[in-house]
Structures are given as structure tokens and as C-alpha cells.
Structure 1
């Protein structure tokens, strides 16, 4: 396994735990506030924290990178990924949303083979097929329980995967704090711009939790809710930096599977805070997707160990 994979795995698991807390907070806020307001407050709080991280790990000059264009593209992609995921959790149980989002590590592994030249392995191909079956079981297409917001989660997973592949590509020259700063800047500019755009529609209740979470006008928050939004800023600065650091340190396929550690936390928050009991099909689908990812990791690691000189 890559020499940095152990450290990258630690960063990723910690980042996933941190972000799971944000999922619970945002779902709790989705009945009262618009997603753009929560994202904007989060980004404002995150900005000075990230500036300190940039100064501590690099310099202000590093923000004016020659690869600013690629950094900006990655940031915009992540803006879309987080927006779609946040909208989905307004309508889906947290366990369902995270189970579907678990397809992201498989997408990352596949994209790593296609675009980064990471060595393909038969286990990865098998895992992609099994993971797809798990997604279908979780979605239950054609049944009454199907919720179209699940498509938002899958779209978020695809965008997130693309962004983390770019993090791997940028990792040879750009630090995690710089990548995270660009990411936060995209949210800080994009969220209020989107709020201004949707306000032109004049809709407050769009008839669906996800759309209402997007279209609802901004309101003055209570002190408790304002602190929760601000807390998301602290969570986000830590989580984004940890994930960016993970994907810049090691091959994407080696660490992406540990995104599955969220299966420990997100359903727990759903049960504790929202009385959400995961459906059997959610558990089965998540087990197939997680199992596929672990199978891919073991197969890839075995191939790398066999290729190392003795």
C-alpha cells in the first residue's frame, strides 16, 4: 500500500465523522431555514478559520496559484455536490441518504483508474457491479417508497467523486488548506447568488421538502439556530481540510473506501435526533455497497503488495 495511505485513512475517517455532525444539524434546520442561508452563514464563519490554516501551512501568496483555474473548477463542482446532498437530506432519512452517497468511493476508484492512471484490478470492476446492485436495492425503483430526492444524492456523489479526483491531481502542488479555501469561497459567493436567483420565483412552499429547502426565503434566526449554523462553519473548515488532505496524500482507490465509516455515525444521528429507523432494504443496500468497496480495497492492496519488489 502507498506509504501515505495510513495517514490519509486517518484524515479521511476523522473528516467523515466531522461531516456527519453537519448532516444532522442541517436536517434539523431544513424545516425552518433555506439551505442557501445555512450555507452562507457556514461559509462566513469558515473563512477566517481557513485563512489562519493557510497562513499556518503555507502563505497568502499560495492562494494566487498558477492552477487557480483548476482549483476554482473543483470548488464549483463541490458547491454543486454539497448543495444537492443537503437538499436530499431534507426529504430522505439520513440513513437512506448516506447509503446512496456510499456509491461515491466506488466512483472515485473508477475515475482514479480512468483519469489518474491508477492500476486497475479485477476486484474494482466486480465491486462496481455489486455496488450498483446495492444502489438499486436501496432506491427500490418503481415501488411506492421511491423518493426522487434520491437522485439528488446520486448526483451529489458523482460530483463529489469528480472533485476528489481533482484533489489528487492537484495534490502535488497545492496544499489542503488552499484547496479548502477555494471550496469555501465558492460556497460563500454561490449560495447567496443562488438565493437571489430563486427569490425571483416568489415561491416559499414548493410542495416538496427538497424544493422548499431551496426556495424558502431567508429569515432572522433564533440565537440557538444561529449558533448551529455557525457551528457548521467550524465543522466544515475541519472536515473539508481533512478530506482534502486525505485525497492529496494517497491514491484515491486506497482511501476512498473509508468514506464508508459514515455508516457508523449518520444512521445513529438519524435515530437519536429524528427517530428514523433504517428500512431493511436500506441496510441491505448499504451492506452490499460497503462490502463491494471493501472487496475493491483488499483486491487493490493485494495487487500492490504483489507488485512490490521483495
Structure 2
């Protein structure tokens, strides 16, 4: 059975969140040893190499002139700002605090899609998204200490990431997703190179940290490619709530790699988030079924 665009978009978003969550966990583990500039440069360069090898092998690279479309340049600028601010915050506050603020991204994307793209968003889906956000707060339980300058960096990252996702939706569909991913990763790596002197110059990097960033780059590649394909496949207002799946991955990572058992609050919050996402999926399918049934009853003149 063929999958709808929204179903494919949701699946790609879920895969993207897995990639980004693993990448965040691995990246945070080296923030004590490497500066933001170094992380952006090394991880970006590794990701660029991976994307280039895969895209070249698949013959999926576009002509260089396609990279200089205004929307692509705008997307890269927004992605770079989001990376700088989030990585800066990641080294200063717990991952849970940063994740708590980052979960407001679907709301920002949905609002932007409704305002700028006129995508239909009924009150039921708005309610489901709001309930999902409550679930996120139950899981994270952020305290007053979360609202620091570092927290503000995450807020800026949320705003720029939302703009990035909205712009991605409008990029010419004939432009390969690999091309967008490649140019994005290369640009972030270059930005990191420029930032190295700002953060105090190059610091020695151990083999362990370098190896960690190699693995993180692989997950980042998966995240980049999947989110670009997701945003170009389905309705933003429908697939955006599936970002909450990153919280499920965070719980699994904590249990498998750090032996952290989820609290009752985490279980309750995760259940609310999952039910909320499933309900938005159900409402979208029902809306489409009703529209199809309605159009099928129209008698041609």
C-alpha cells in the first residue's frame, strides 16, 4: 500500500529526531574538551565528507549554480545560527534543560506554517500539539535555573530553526536534498573554522573525542538528510509534532548508555506526547477521508 506524503514525512521526521538526539548526546560528551568552533568545524567537515561520498556515489549532486538560490542561502544562514547558539548552550546547561526549551519548536513551526503558508490547522490539532507540549514539560520538569543566558541561546536556536524548516518547504523540489545537506554541512564547518579564534584558538583534541565526533557526524548526516526530506514531503503542521519523538529517544539513551531509569513523571509525560502525536495523525487521516468522501459525492454538471 502506497504511503501518503504526510506519512512519509512523519517517518522521516522520526528518523531525523533519532539522528539528532544521538548526535546531541555524543557532542555534549566532548564539550569539556573542545570549543564550539572546533566542534562545528570538525563535525561539519566529517559530515560534509560523508554526504559528498554518498551523494557522488548515487549521482545525486546538482550543479554548483543551484546552491546559490536565495532560499538555500537563507536556510544555511538560519541553520548556522541555530547550530552556534544551541552548541553554545549545550556546553553550559544540562541536556534536559536545553531539550525542554527546544521542544517548543513544533509550536513555532506550526504557527509559521499557518501564518505564512496558510496550511489548514484545526482546533483539534492545535489542542493536541498543546497537550503534547504539556507532556514535554512533565518529562523535563524544568526549574527556574533553566532560564539563564544559555537558555536564551536555545530560544534563539528555536526561532532560527523554525525559520529554517519553513524555508526548506519552499526550496525548489528539483534541487537534490543531498545538495542542500552538503552545502549546509560545509557552510557550518566553515563558520566553525572562523569561530575557532573567537573561542580562544585551537585546543588539543584526543583520539577519543575525535572518534566520538566521527560517530556523531554520522548521526548528524542522518538527521540533516531526513529532516530536509521530511519538510519537503508532508504538511509542516502535521509532521512538526513528530519532533517530540526525540524525547523518547532521550529516555532510551539515558537507560541504555547511562543506566538512568525513567521516573513516573517521565513515563506519564512520554505517554501524553505519544498519544498526542498519534491523535494528530488520526485527525489528519480523518480530515482527508472526509474531504475525499465529500468530493466523491459531487455530481458533475
* Alignment TM-score, normalising by the size of structure 2: 0.81
Q: Tell me, yes or no, if the aligned pair for 1:121 and 1:300 is still in contact at 8 Å.
A: no
Tell me the residue number matched to 1:59: 61
Tell me the residue number matched to 2:291: 307
Residue 69 to residue 136, structure 1, CA distance change in 2 (3 Å): same
Q: How does 1:89-238 map to 2 (within 5 A)?
A: 89-127=90-128, 129-130=130-131, 143=144, 146-170=147-171, 172-199=173-200, 217-238=201-222
Residue 13 to residue 129, structure 1, CA distance change in 2 (3 Å): closer
Shift of 1:97: 2.6
Distance 1:152 1:144 in 2: 14
Shift of 1:134: 6.2
Shift of 1:301: 3.7
SS in 1 for 2:203: coil
Q: Tell me, yes or no, if the aligned pair for 1:99 and 1:285 is still in contact at 8 Å.
A: no
Equivalent pairs, count: 291
CA RMSD of aligned residues (A): 3.1
Tell me the residue number matched to 2:237: 253
Q: Tell me, yes or no, if the aligned pair for 2:38 and 2:202 is still in contact at 8 Å.
A: yes
Distance 2:212 2:159 in 1: 28
Shift of 1:146: 4.7
Shift of 1:136: 7.1
SS in 2 for 1:15: helix
Q: Tell me, yes or no, if the aligned pair for 1:121 and 1:303 is still in contact at 8 Å.
A: no
Distance 2:238 2:281 in 1: 6
Distance 2:258 2:109 in 1: 31
Distance 1:287 1:151 in 2: 28
Q: Tell me, yes or no, if the aligned pair for 2:35 and 2:199 is still in contact at 8 Å.
A: no
Distance 2:146 2:187 in 1: 35
Structure 1 unaligned spans of 5+: 200-216
Residue 132 to residue 245, structure 1, CA distance change in 2 (3 Å): closer
Distance 1:150 1:269 in 2: 23
